[in-house]
Amino acid sequence: MIGEEERRAVDAVLQGHVLTHGSRVREFEAAFARYTGAPHAVATASCTAAMQLAYMHLGIGPGDEVIVPAQTHVGTAHAVELCGAGCLFADSEPLTGNIDLDQVEALVSDRTRALAVVHYLGVPVDMDRVMDIAERHRLFVVEDCALALGATYQRAHVGLRGDVGCFSFYPVKHITTAEGGMLITRHADLAERVASLRAFGIDRHDPERRDTPGEYDVALLGANFRMNEMGAALGVEQMKRLPEFLKRRRENYEVLRDGLAGIEQLEFLDPAAGDYQQSHYCLVVLLRDSIYRRRPEIIKQLGDRGIGTSIYYPKPVPHMSYYRGKYGISESDLPVASRISLRSLALPVGPHLNVDDMHYMVNNVAEVLRRLE
Ligand SMILES: Cc1ncc(COP(=O)(O)O)c(C=O)c1O
């Protein structure tokens, strides 16, 4: 969904003389803050970078622990591990795939500093419960909103109840900057420090140095996790189209969900209705007992019919080799997350598709599954 406006905006950056540290990043941050209602927004190199910056701000390191859902992208956990801290993995709840909050309390110890929650596929986590747990145990809360742009919880955009909300603009997300992320927060001091930490911890606020090119001091141990001006220019244009993108996603999702409902070999995650709006990132179906082992074949056949699919996520994070080696967590410890990874198939509902495409998908999914028997 890169159009003429995006091309022109990137070209204007390339015609100019500022490729980084420029006004486009500030403009994108302002647009994002306006849309989400966030008091502060800081653009970053990726969602993972945004989460890592939040942990760097918190000063977590060796000996500290962060509770993380098992059913997520590895970036949620890597952001913790890259700071030298350890992850405590919680299983998913079966109706949403979101973190099982009953397990979270049992995992908290003296070493636990933070709780990361992921709005899995853009369906908001029960943030009232999250904040209750966090307040009782004094935990910092990271909301991983990588798949949740446009989602609201109690009519506020997700990412604002916790201490930080982190978004991804990787190409398959609701909007893209090629690579990129955004951190939103209610805390002015946190936003200011994260903005410095994303650029080496350079202190540009010192009035004596500010006006002399090349002069700076480094107040913090920071990283280079900035967004560049081309990415931000894309982001500014994509934000203008976001309401239309979200509308198309919702329409597509509803047609696809209704169309697939009658197919016996499929189950669905089935979040209860509530005071929230999900972001319709994709539609995940779960393949029933009789067919789930044939998922590779199903994916191949759908691909041959021009239907691109994905898996969110191929293994629970603790079963990826790095984490398995480090933590030794077995499948039976995470039955729900393991079940979702083994059986799920994600179907696209993005704004590049229309309602006719959804009908095409329904017919073809039904036919491929029928022919398996
Ligand atoms: C839940 C979740 N968190 C984090 C990420 C990583 O995002 P990024 O590539 O912007 O670091 C992803 C990417 O798909 C994701 O799905």
Domain ranges across the chain: 4-239, 242-372
Is the minimum distance from the CB of 226 to ligand 1 under 6 angstroms? no
Torsion of the alpha carbons at 42, 45, 51 and 56, rounded to the nearest 10? -80
Whether this model's pTM surpasses 0.85: yes
Mutation test residue for ligand 1: of 74, 121, 147, the one with most atoms within 8 Å of CB: 147
Cα 170 to middle of ligand 1, angstroms:
8
Provide the phi-psi class of 250: left if phi over 0, else alpha when psi is between -120 and 50, else beta. Answer: alpha
- pLDDT for 266: 98
Taking CA atoms only, the protein residue closest to ligand 1 atom 13 is 73
Q: Which atom of ligand 1 is nearest to the CA of 181?
A: 10
- The letter for the amino acid at 95 is L
In a mutational test of the pocket of ligand 1, which residue from 170, 311, 320 has the highest number of ligand atoms less than 8 Å from its CB? 170
User: How many C-beta atoms lie closer than 10 Å to residue 276's C-beta?
Assistant: 20
Q: For residue 118, give the ligand 1 atom closest to its CA.
A: 1
- The pLDDT score that the predictor gives to residue 13 is 98
Q: How far apart are CA 329 and CA 54, in angstroms?
A: 26
The burial class, CB within 10 Å (0-12 / 13-18 / 19+), for 258 is exposed
Homologous superfamily assigned to 242-372: Aspartate Aminotransferase, domain 1 (3.90.1150.10)
Looking at residue 291, the DSSP 8-state letter turns out to be T
Q: Which pLDDT does position 215 carry in this prediction?
A: 87
- With a 6 A CB cut-off, is 168 part of the ligand 1 pocket? yes
Q: Which of 47, 71, 72, 177 to mutate to test the pocket of ligand 1 (most atoms within 8 A of CB)?
A: 47
pLDDT score of 207: 60
Q: Is 76 in the pocket of ligand 1 (CB under 6 A)?
A: yes
Is 144's C-beta closer than 6 angstroms to any atom of ligand 1? yes
What gap in Å lies between CA 307 and CA 123, rounded to an integer? 24
The fold for domain 4-239 equals Aspartate Aminotransferase; domain 2 (3.40.640)
∠ Cα 94 100 106 (to 5°): 145
Average pLDDT by consecutive 10-residue portion of the chain (373 residues)?
97 97 96 98 98 98 98 98 98 97 96 98 98 98 98 98 98 98 98 97 72 87 98 98 98 98 95 96 97 97 98 97 95 94 98 98 98 85
User: Which mutation among 48, 92, 279 tests ligand 1's pocket best, with the greatest number of atoms within 8 A of CB?
Assistant: 48
Residue 146: CB within 6 Å of ligand 1? yes
Residue 44, Cα to own-chain centre: how many angstroms? 14
| Of the candidates 246, 150, 227, 240, the residue with the CA atom closest to the CA atom of residue 182 | 227
- In the DSSP assignment, the letter for residue 125 is P
Q: Is the CB of 75 under 6 A from ligand 1?
A: yes
Ligand 1 atom 16: the closest Cα is on which residue? 73
Determine contact, residues 52/58, Cβ cutoff 8 Å.
no
State the pLDDT at residue 206. 60
Give the residue among 249, 250, 291 at the shortest CA–CA distance from 267. 291
Report the alpha-carbon distance of residue 37 to residue 19 in Å, rounded: 28
β-partners of residue 347 are 283
Give the distance between the most distant pair of CA atoms in the chain.
76
**Centroid of ligand 1 to alpha carbon of 210 (angstroms):** 35
Residue 71 near ligand 1, beta carbon < 6 Å = no
Cis peptide before 313 (omega within 30 of 0): yes
Relative to the CA of 48, which ligand 1 atom is closest?
Answer: 11
